[in-house]
Amino acid sequence: MIRLIAGLIGLGFVGILLISMIVNLAEYFGESHAESAEHALHREPEKVGFSFSSPVGKFDRAQLQRGFQVYKEVCAACHGLNLVAFRNLEDLGYNEAEVKAIASQWAIEVPDINPETGEPTTRKALPADRFPDPYPNETAARAANNNALPPDLSLIAKNREGGPHYVHALLTGYQQQPAEVVKRFPEVKTGEGLYYNPYFANLNIAMPPPITSDGQVTYADGTPPTVDQMSKDVSAFLMWAAEPHLESRHRAGWATLIFLIVATILGYLSYRNIWATAKRKVRVTGPLEADSQAKSAAAKAEQGIAG
Amino acid sequence: MAFSWAKPYEPKSNFARWIDTRLPLPRLVYGAVGGGYPVPRNLNYFWNFGVLAGIFLTIQIVTGIVLAMHYYASIDGAFFSVERIMRDVNAGWFLRYAHANGASFFFIVTYIHIFRGLFYGSYKAPREMVWMMGLVIYLLMMATAFMGYVLPWGQMSYWGAQVITGFFSAFPLVGEPLRVWLLGGYAPDQAALTRFFSLHYLLPFVIAAVTVLHIWALHIPGSSNPTGVDVKTEQDTLPFHPFYTAKDGWFAGVVLILFAILLFFWPNSLGHPDNYIPANPLATPAHIVPEWYFWPFYAILRAFTVDFIIPAKLWGVLAMFASILLLFFLPWLDRSPVRSGHYRPIFKRFFWILVADIMLLGACGVMPVEQPWVALSQIATAYYFAHFLIILPLISRFERPLPLPNSISESVLHGETAESAPAGMKGTAAKPTIAAPSAAAE
């Protein structure tokens, strides 16, 4: 009975699925399928050889400092970094005094309350403060940016497919929209206040190209500030901002692996040792064993031998 | 315990005797996972995954309890409390990554454990209750994992909660009120987050309790084995300790190495990047996908696209629930008395088709709703139901199984029975016509 009911239910589901499939396929072949512009033109970010990518990877401190400089001079005007505190910059190799100086000279001040009047005011940032947001609220941010909202960058290297590689590809991917593209896909024509970028999900991004020319930032360490170099540096810095404990994670990983491998080898050897006795020689075999004696008695009885 | 030769617990010291006559906990442990539990001697490595699931449940509970000390279940604060754990709590990144990837590993080992049961017929008499308690654990795991994924209150958390609770609104009449009742509002909000946190903390302990029932039910008939032949004599078994503690122990090391590689070097590879964006009820992500362990079910849900008598969405929801509930009836759908797939030539082929089918469903579940994925998910869903509801009952009727070995020890100890037989009786004493496949000869 249960198998009959089950069979009927099974046939029911299979039938509905068959109908669904026929209907969907008929729909699919019934209409024309022009390739969508996103499908045709969207590009996956190319891999950048970052120093932190591999399991033994570490951040390049000089690169992080350069990236921070790019963030400070190019990105910070519009993009916040509200999960990172100034004190965290010590990870980049700055000493306490330098961090203090960076915080107090930060262009955007930290909201505060006037201790005498209770009126809202601002003050210079301290190392303990997180990076202050460039806009007081979302409405102000949109009003200043043609109704687009510049996202906070604290986690940008983790919340986009491709992570730091995507950030680098996006920063270097701005281009003139190819004329043939406009002819083929008139609907993706880059509108007023938008910029064509094949790495961006819908191809047209509201952010103007932030890094436009070589030498836009002057590096103190003498690295040539090409567009590509600045983009790489700021991508590396943003990876640090998103995952500040990456290096200790890698270190802890190796320590854990070494411990586990040694423990597993010892475990395996003791397993072999314990099972050595069990594989074959676990029981006494021979004619005196109860089993064999019974068989022997049965055989004797069968052949009529007394005993 | 079922076997008469199971060694009884013998207290070794005066203190142990004192305890044993008052609270015989050591006796219980000895009988459950100690020298007092005889286990078939021929188990292969697929039998290690039950213990591994227990290990990962423990990891989840321990890391989860510590994370809960730092987590803050508020729609404004949850996301930032998780980031505070990642940045400012000592080794907080380790706790969170261990918990998130631990959930994935818990599902990996549980899926292998379930497929092992499917192949070796572990659901068959007399182990039906073991199987059903296992399914209850699996359902609880799914609920717990779903609610845990909501807690960071990122984009996928929020929209996942929206989609999954939306299933309930597919039911006629009671659906919408039920959804509102579950969420405590019309959309996921503070009420939903608070109750999900509460239940996410509660359910693992329910899982632990049902696991006790699962193991208790297992210990009545004892463990099954790769030949599927019942234990007959003491020769067929070895005490759990030290033999299987040693085997489970070193193999757990291997799995923990794989876990550590994922956790320390690629901790975000199984997660969705969107969940690092704070939840925004006004911005729907381009593709809402659940975590990987739900992909096959998501594909089943979306395979139904036609309103046939009842709405397509209701078909999808019914099929998704049915896809798991039908497993409760498996012991009665598959009537073949032969347990192990090694001796079932036709069943074996369909088993591997099922494995491939579920992988295909998983792939369909993560892809956008486009052809050819829609058609593939429909074929794969149809096969899933046909396999359990039509094919398995038919196979068990028509299949001619291969001859089984007479006993476990005979299949393991090969020629020794013949060697030890009396003169002139060499080998005639019931030799298996077909040797057990190598996997069974562990």
Whose structure tokens read 């409390």?
A: B81
**Is A223 part of the contact surface with chain B (CB cutoff 8 Å)?**
no
Task: Give the residue among B105, B111, B121, B6 at the shortest CA–CA distance from B57.
Answer: B105
**Is A49 part of the contact surface with chain B (CB cutoff 8 Å)?**
no
Higher pLDDT, A176 or B250: B250
| Tens digits of residue pLDDT in B339-363 | 999 999 999 999 999 999 999 999 9
For this structure, is B232 an active site residue?
no
Rounded distance, CA B139 to CA B325, Å? 10
Residue in B219, B241, B348, B414 annotated catalytic? B219
- Give the nearest partner residue to B93 out of A25, A249, A280, using CB atoms: A249
**Mean pLDDT in residue range A155-179:** 91
Q: Above 60 in pLDDT, residue B59?
A: yes
| Tens digits of residue pLDDT in B124-170 | 989 999 999 999 999 999 999 999 999 999 999 999 999 999 989 88
Do the chains contact at A299 and B238, CB–CB below 8 Å? no
**Mean pLDDT in residue range B380-386:** 95
Nearest CA in chain A to B442: A279
Higher pLDDT, B278 or B434: B278
Q: Above 60 in pLDDT, residue A284?
A: no
Do the chains contact at A3 and B393, CB–CB below 8 Å? yes
Rounded distance, CA A174 to CA A186, Å? 19
Q: Above 70 in pLDDT, residue A216?
A: yes
Do the chains contact at B425 and A280, CB–CB below 8 Å? no
User: Distance from B22 to chain A by nearest Cα, in Å?
Assistant: 33
| Phi/psi at A237 (5° precision) | -60, -40
Do the chains contact at A7 and B378, CB–CB below 8 Å? no
Using an 8 Å CB-CB cutoff, list chain B residues near A257.
Answer: 257, 260-261, 264
pLDDT, residue A287, reads 64
- Give the nearest partner residue to A286 out of B260, B315, B420, using CB atoms: B420
Q: Above 70 in pLDDT, residue B435?
A: no
Residue in B113, B200, B214, B247 annotated catalytic? B247
ipTM score assigned to the predicted complex: 0.87
pLDDT, residue A250, reads 96
Q: Which two tokens stand for residue B157?
A: 């958390």
**Is A286 part of the contact surface with chain B (CB cutoff 8 Å)?**
yes
Rounded distance, CA A49 to CA A63, Å? 13
Q: What is the mean pLDDT of chain B?
A: 90
Q: Which of A198-202, B192-196, B253-257 has the lowest mean pLDDT?
A: A198-202
| Tens digits of residue pLDDT in B307-330 | 888 888 899 999 999 999 999 999
**Is A268 part of the contact surface with chain B (CB cutoff 8 Å)?**
yes
Nearest CA in chain A to B253: A264
**Is A14 part of the contact surface with chain B (CB cutoff 8 Å)?**
yes
Rounded distance, CA B162 to CA B182, Å? 11
pLDDT, residue A291, reads 74
> What global pTM score does this model have?
0.89
- Give the nearest partner residue to B390 out of A10, A158, A289, using CB atoms: A10
Q: Above 50 in pLDDT, residue B429?
A: no
Cα-Cα end-to-end distance for chain A: 57
For this structure, is B409 an active site residue?
no
B45, B156, B276, best to mutate vs chain A, most A CBs in 10 Å = B276
Q: Which amino acid is at B21?
A: T
pLDDT, residue B334, reads 93
**Is A58 part of the contact surface with chain B (CB cutoff 8 Å)?**
no
In the A/B pair of chains, how many CB contacts fall below 8 A?
179
Q: What is the DSSP string of A155-222?
A: TTTTSSTTHHHHHHHHHH---PPPHHHHHH-GGG---TT-EE-TTSTTSEESS--S--STTSS--TT-
**pLDDT-derived band at B414, boundaries 50, 70, 90:** low
A2, A13, A248, best to mutate vs chain B, most B CBs in 10 Å = A13
A1, A18, A20, A156, best to mutate vs chain B, most B CBs in 10 Å = A20
Nearest CA in chain B to A19: B306
CB of A136 within 8 A of CB of A121? no
Do the chains contact at A161 and B273, CB–CB below 8 Å? yes
Rounded distance, CA A287 to CA B417, Å? 11
**Mean pLDDT in residue range B116-122:** 95
**Mean pLDDT in residue range B254-262:** 97
**pLDDT-derived band at B431, boundaries 50, 70, 90:** very low
Q: Above 70 in pLDDT, residue B107?
A: yes
CB of B165 within 8 A of CB of B183? yes
Do the chains contact at A295 and B264, CB–CB below 8 Å? no
Higher pLDDT, A306 or A9: A9
**Mean pLDDT in residue range B364-389:** 92
Q: Above 70 in pLDDT, residue A30?
A: yes
B48, B80, B86, B301, best to mutate vs chain A, most A CBs in 10 Å = B86
Using an 8 Å CB-CB cutoff, list chain A residues near B277.
Answer: 155, 159
Do the chains contact at A275 and B246, CB–CB below 8 Å? yes
pLDDT, residue B193, reads 96
pLDDT, residue B409, reads 77
**pLDDT-derived band at B413, boundaries 50, 70, 90:** low
**pLDDT-derived band at A296, boundaries 50, 70, 90:** confident
pLDDT, residue B149, reads 96
For this structure, is B248 an active site residue?
yes
Higher pLDDT, A26 or A255: A255
| Phi/psi at A241 (5° precision) | -60, -35
Higher pLDDT, A246 or B438: A246
pLDDT, residue B300, reads 94
pLDDT, residue A182, reads 78
Q: What is the DSSP string of chain A?
A: -HHHHHHHHHHHHHHHHHHHHHHHHHHHHHS--PPPHHHHH--PPPP---TTSSTT----HHHHHHHHHHIIIIITTT---TT-BGGGGGGGT--HHHHHHHHHT-SSPEEEE-TTT--EEEE---TTSBPPPSSSSHHHHHHHTTT--PPP-TTTTTSSTTHHHHHHHHHH---PPPHHHHHH-GGG---TT-EE-TTSTTSEESS--S--STTSS--TT-----HHHHHHHHHHHHHHHH-TTHHHHHHHHHHHHHHHHHHHHHHHHHHHHHHHTTSSTTS--STTSHHHHHHHHHHHHHTT---
Q: Above 90 in pLDDT, residue B109?
A: yes
Nearest CA in chain A to B268: A158
| Tens digits of residue pLDDT in A121-165 | 999 999 999 999 999 999 999 999 988 999 999 999 999 999 999
Nearest CA in chain B to A291: B421
CB of A149 within 8 A of CB of A138? yes
| Phi/psi at A281 (5° precision) | -90, 25
Residue in B200, B214, B291, B323 annotated catalytic? B291
CB of B259 within 8 A of CB of B55? no
Angle, in degrees to the nearest 10, between helices B92-119 and B78-87: 100
For this structure, is B176 an active site residue?
no
Residues 6 or more apart whose CB falls under 8 angstroms from that of A217 comprise: A66, A69, A70, A73, A74, A225, A230
**pLDDT-derived band at B428, boundaries 50, 70, 90:** very low
Cα→Cα distances B22→A85, B1, B27, B246, B247, Å: 58, 21, 11, 30, 33
User: Distance from A210 to chain B by nearest Cα, in Å?
Assistant: 22
- Give the nearest partner residue to B304 out of A20, A160, A163, using CB atoms: A20
